Amino acid sequence: MSEAKKTTNHEEIKKWAEKHGGVPSIIKGTENDGSGEGVLRIHFPKKSDDNSSFEEISWEDFFKEFDDNKLALLHDPNGNFNKLVNRD
């Protein structure tokens, strides 16, 4: 893995995810009672053995939760490693 990069730039995140086959998702069963989407992930359906645990959401919904929770994406620019982390 090359050096991980941390970003909050929506367009950069979307382009990186799409380049590697990633889609904005939540983990099923983690949805709140109307106060949020649930646990966010960028999921790679073609590279995963477990697609039943994830629900694809729109980029708009993903970035609303992303910003509301002050998250950043730590990712490998050349691969699909990623982790949502605090912006601090």
pLDDT at 54: 82
Domain assignments of the chain as residue spans, ordered by start: 5-86
| Helical (H) or strand (E) element with 71 | strand 71-75
* Measured distance CA(49)–CA(69) in Å, rounded: 28
Report which DSSP code applies to 27: E
Per-residue pLDDT tens digits of the chain, which is 88 residues long: 568 999 999 999 999 999 999 999 988 776 665 555 678 999 887 666 665 778 889 999 999 999 999 999 999 999 989 999 999 8
pLDDT, one tens digit per residue, over 67-84 is 999 999 999 999 989 999
25: number of Cβ within 10 Å? 22
Query: Taking a C-beta distance cutoff of 8 angstroms, is the pair 69, 8 a contact?
Result: no
